[in-house]
Structure 1
Amino acid sequence: MAFAVTYTSKESEKDHVLRLIVSHGGRLLNEGFDELFIAESLQDSTTSPKRSPSKLAGNASSTSFRLTREAQNLGFTALISDRHSRRAKYMQALALGLPCLAGRWVLDCIKQNIILTWERYLLPAGESSFLGAVRSRVLLPSPAAEARLSMMIDTRPKLLNGRSVLLVTGKGKVEEKRKAYVFLTRALGAKRVAKAANVELAKNMLEQGQQDWDLVYVDGPEKQAEKVLFGTINGEVDSIVTAGAGKKRKRGNEDEQVRRKVKIVGDEFIIQSLILGALVEQ
C-alpha cells in the first residue's frame, strides 16, 4: 500500500499517522503521486516567434503517462488528510480517481488490527463554485486489501480525454511551480500536451495552424491572455506576415474561427473541474 499525506492542521495527528504507515510497512509518497509515474518531459514548443511551423509541430507530442515498473505492483493507494483542501496532493488524488481518506482510517485500522473498508472515511472533493456547496465524492467501493493501483488508474475518469492542451508554463521558478499542473493535465487524460514559455509564443503556435488545440492553459488572467492571443490593435483587425511569403493577410476571420474552437483556461478551471468531477462551464 502507498499513501500521500497532507494535513491542513492537526500536526500531532499527522506525525502519528506518518509513523504508523511506515512502521506497518506502508510506502509514503513524500513528493506526491507523481513519484509513481513515468512522464516524458515537455519540450518547449518554440523559443522564437520566427521558428518554422514544422519544428513547432514536431514538439507537440502525444501524452505519455505510465506507472513506473515498481508502482505497477502496488496495491491500495490513497491520500490521507484531515479535511478537503486545494493542495497539490489532494488535487492529484482527485485527478487520478484515488480515495481521499480521513486520517482516522489509518488509526482505526491499526487499533482494530484489520484493513477496514474505507467508504465511511471518504472525504469530499471540495468547495464547488458551480454548486455553491461542498461536493461529496462517489467512488465504487472496493476492499482495500484486494485493490490494485494499476486497475485504479486504468478506470479513473479522464476529464480531458481526447483533448489537446497547450500549456503556458513560463521559465525558471514559474515553470517549476507549473509542473504540478502539467501532471494534472496528463492525469486527466489529455491526448496531446505541449508547452510554450509565454502567451506570445503560444499565439505563434495557434497562428501556424500545424496542430489543433482545444485548450490553452495560461498562468495569469485569462482575459489578458485572450487579448494577446486574439486581440485587435485600437479596435481594428491587425495583420500578420504569412510564413515565407512576405505578404500580409487579414487575420480577423481566421482568429474568430480559432477563438470559437480554443478555450483559454487557468488553474481555477482545472481545480473546479476536479472538484465537480466534470469540466466546468465558464
Structure 2
Amino acid sequence: MIDPNPETPRGEDRLVGSDRVLVVLRVLAERPEGIGLEEMAKAVDSPKPTVHRALAALRRAGFAVQDGRGRYLLGDEFLRLAFTHHEARPDHVRIRPALERLAGRFGETAHYAVLDGREVVYRAKVDPPSGPVRLTSTVGGRNPAHSTGVGKLLLAWTLPDDAAVATWARQGPLERRTPRTKVAAEELCAELAAVREQGCAVDDQENEEGVNCVAVPVFLTSATTPSGAVSVSALAYRTPLSSLVEALPEIHAIVKELR
C-alpha cells in the first residue's frame, strides 16, 4: 500500500491534499490498464470521496480521463507534457545519436542513465533496428545502482575509496537481483576499485538473468565528473559479455564524440 501522505504533518490540510493528488497521479501511471475508484481508494488508503476529488482535479487539468467502463487512466495532456519535456532535455538530445550508432553497430539496446541516490534512472534508450527479442527497460525506469553496469560506473566516481563504499553499503539492504549480484561491501569495494582503474564497468547477468552489459562514462557538462553513463545491454545468448568487452575501445570512441 502506498503512503498517501509521505512526510506530511497531519495539520497541514492543503499540503496533505496536494500530496494525495500526486500519489493518485503516480498510481495512474503504474496502471496503464486503468483503475476503478474503489481500487484507487484502497491503493492510496483514503476515503472514496477524497480520492474522487483528487481524480476530478486531475481530470480538469487533462491529466486523467475516465473510460467507458468507469476506470481512470492517465490523460493525453499529461503524456504530452511528459514527452515534450523529455524530448527537450539537453542530455537526451545530445546523447541520442551515440545511442543510435551503438544500437545499430551491435544490434543490441543502448541506454543512457544517471545516478539518483541508490538507483539509476534511464534517461534515454534506443533499441536495435531489428531483432525479435528486446529488453523491457523503459525511459524513466529505475534499477538498483549496485547491480547494473551504469550504476557501478557512476558509484565508482561518487564513492572515491573503500571507506566511502563501505559506508554507502551499510546505509540500507542491497537487493540480490540474481545469484551473481554482488551485495557484500567487500565485493563492491573490489568491483568499484576495478571500475576506477579501467574506466568502464560490466554487468555479468547481475541485474537480470540472461542480460549482460558494458558501461562507459559520459562527460556532457564536466571534463572530470560524468553527467551519466552509456551502456550497451545485450542478451547473453546472442552477444556474450566477452564480445562487448572486446568492443569497449570502439564504444568509448563513439561516446567521446559527444564532447
Give TM-score scaled by structure 1 length.
0.23
Q: More helix per residue: 1 or 2?
A: 2
Q: TM-score, normalised by structure 2?
A: 0.25
Greater RCO, 1 or 2 (C-alpha within 8 Å, sep 6+):
1
